[in-house]
Amino acid sequence: MVLVLLAIAGCHDKREAPPVPAVPQVVFGDLHVHSTNSIDVYVLNVPLLGGEGEVTPGDHCQFARHCARLDFWAITDHQEGAPPSAWEESKDAIQACNAQYGGNLANPALVSFLGFEWQQSDLEPITDWGHKNVLFRDDADGRVPARAIASAGQVTGVSQAELDAAVALATSVDPDNAATYAALDAEVTAGLTALPCPANVPSTDLPLDCVESAEDPATLFGKLDEWGSEALVIPHGYTWGAHHGPLTSWEHQLGPTQHDPGYQTLVEVYSGHGSMEEYRTWLPVAEDGAGNLSCPAATADYLPCCQRAGELIAAGNADCAADPIGPDCLAATEAARQAFVDAGRDGFATVAFAEPADWLDCGECRDCFQPAEGHRPLGSSQAALARTAFDKGGAPIRYQWGFIGSTDTHAVGPGAGFKEDKWMSDIFGSADPDFDVLVNLLVPQLFPDWVRQNSYYYSGGLVAAHSVGRSREAIWAALKRREVYATSGERILLWFDLLNGPTGRTPMGSATTLATKPQFEVRAVGSFIQAPGCPSDLIAAAPDGLIDAACEGECYHPTDERYLIRRLEVVRITPQITPDEPLEALIADPLLTFDCPPDPDGCQWTFEDPEWTSLARPALYYVRALQEPSAQLNADGARCTWDEAGNCVATDLCLGGWPGADDDCLAQDAERAWASPIYLSP
């Protein structure tokens, strides 16, 4: 059976234009891509940091088609701080890409979707709504909004005077690239000077040249309703400490106002900024129930950064040297811990003398698969799926998401994870020793922990869709019905079905009722091992110079050999049926595991949950398929040296730019795929 399905679903990897199949095939894409129309991306692509300046949505079209050889992709630029013209450029580029590669035909070479990212964050959990990609099925004028929508109050964080000073400094140390810095200055200035749209006016009646914003998801959903366009809203990145407070949670979003299941049918569980899948019981700060925050104790598997702040202060404190447990030392270390907590995301600035490596692996999830830097457990997808909102007078409300992966690339192009290399990621740093002083002055103002973040950037994920055909409509339908799965970047083939559903075999992403114990089947086939360089037929077909300029001589280049699938893991989550149920009691990870025989044709496993009927409550099940270990970027995080007690005592951080040029930051780990859950009600 696996071989038959492989013939149907996997062969498109290696041919240009397969015929439209009569049954679902697996198609791969990237639905989270940024060009330099995102202001932060423009900043990260300046020559000071090794970039070349402007990278347009049109450039990404060519990368998706020729370098990554994707089936579909979407542009999702940040709108915060961007001028209104950025949306027009995105729309024009997507229309041109679809025209060039048949994106609106029945059997396209590449489907391109139009979208934007609504990017909001706040240290206060109750007003932290997170980052959401808004995608549209169509690309034609009149069928999509006339403007993208930014979050309210979240802009570039820089004044015109600060911008001019930064550009002048950059030009002074790198005069050969003065034109690039001038272009950045003009783009940011256009965003800073753009007028906000009038308040209390329907979105469809607003002028074209203003900046429209929404202060929360409910307002965003309302504006999308006014346009009536077919759209998806996909949350992502909610565990990333660089953008979210330590107690960030999904709890306040789960309700009839701030969550719209018609739009939010998917969640991005993995990207180049890490996995947001796994829940843990530890927290970066402690809360006393009255809103007062303090520093929690370290555990065997987690070092809070506030505790590390106290250790750093103690190491250089004369009172601590004289008496490590004396009152003066204890007061100094407690003050340092509390200062870190009170500073929120800027806590690393509270110990001015500390170098990035001095913080060790504080704040990081040591036993998570490729976590986001500063992992926020309450923001994980597992924590979200375990929650229930008990709306007064209504039925309980729960998230029912399908799982996708994407790159969230700020530096390369769509689907960049086809090979493991630092240039395929968002890792960055000073391009030249002469630029160090300026880079170390300017970058921390935007990203206080930027050097440590480089150890938690990955090459990026993909979304796979079980699509009946390759057309835009077929792919969109698969996304809407949640018949999709996430991968950590490899094109693993995965099927996950309920065998005894009320209507028979029921695929991943489905929601159904069941009276008897569920019987599931999972089938997985490893991804193709990659050959170096690019296929000769692709080189011949690509525009002159594109392979070297855009792909840097490396493309998706599958051999005839596949990686083995080594293990299958089942996760069961039973969402709350009373408000006081602790999340950790509801997440069985893993519930079951299966060690696969070493078969190059894949792994197949049928299993049951004999506890289902006795649970007498809703449950969801999903599967992870793990490949044999291979070299992966930043698979070992901060690369700790461990003492005999299991403590991280030194790190070997992954450095971007010239200092880390000879370090590929690779380690062995198991690439994986996450099936969308199957949701069951008794």
Instruction: Encode burial over 302-336: b for 16+ CB neighbours within 10 A, e otherwise.
Output: bbbbbbbbbbbbbeebebbeeeeeeeebbebbeeb
pLDDT single digits (tens) 228-253: 999 999 999 999 998 899 999 999 99
User: For 211, which DSSP code?
Assistant: B
CA distance 256 to 651: 45
SS3 label, residue 368: coil
- Number of Cβ within a 10 Å radius of residue 581: 15
Mean pLDDT (whole number) for 317-324:
92
Residue 593 clears pLDDT 90, i.e. is over it:
yes
Residue 392's pLDDT is 75
Query: 284, 341 in Cβ contact below 8 A?
Result: no
Residue 409 clears pLDDT 80, i.e. is over it:
yes
Residue 405 clears pLDDT 70, i.e. is over it:
yes
Residue 163's pLDDT is 87
Six-digit token pair at 225? 């309703």
Residue 448's pLDDT is 84
What is 447-506 written as a DSSP string? -TTHHHHGGG--S--EEEEEESSSSHHHHHHHHHTT-EEEESSS--EEEEEEEEETTEEE
Look up residue 417 and give its amino acid.
Answer: G
Query: 99, 187 in Cβ contact below 8 A?
Result: no
The number of C-alpha atoms within 13 Å of 537 and in the hemisphere containing its C-beta is 7
What is 270-318 written as a DSSP string? EETTEE-----S--SSEE-SSS-EEPPPPBTTB--HHHHHHHHHHHT-H
Six-digit token pair at 367? 């036993």
User: For 371, which DSSP code?
Assistant: B
Domains of the chain, first to last? 2-282+366-681 (3.20.20.140), 286-359 (no CATH)
Mean pLDDT (whole number) for 31-52:
93
CA distance 258 to 245: 19
CA distance 307 to 324: 15
Q: Beta strands 25-30 and 72-78: pairing type?
A: parallel
Residue 20 clears pLDDT 70, i.e. is over it:
no
Angle at 439 between CA 436 and CA 443, to 5 degrees: 150
Residue 292 clears pLDDT 90, i.e. is over it:
yes
Residue 21 clears pLDDT 50, i.e. is over it:
no
Residue 542's pLDDT is 84
Query: 539, 557 in Cβ contact below 8 A?
Result: no
Identify which of 463, 424, 457 has the alpha carbon closest to the alpha carbon of residue 74: 463
Q: Packing angle between helix 160-173 and helix 436-446, nearest 10 degrees?
A: 160
pLDDT band at 545 (very low <50, low <70, confident <90, very high): confident
Residues near 143 by beta carbon (within 8 Å), at least 6 away in sequence: 136, 229
Lowest mean pLDDT segment, chosen from 17-31, 290-304, 337-351: 17-31
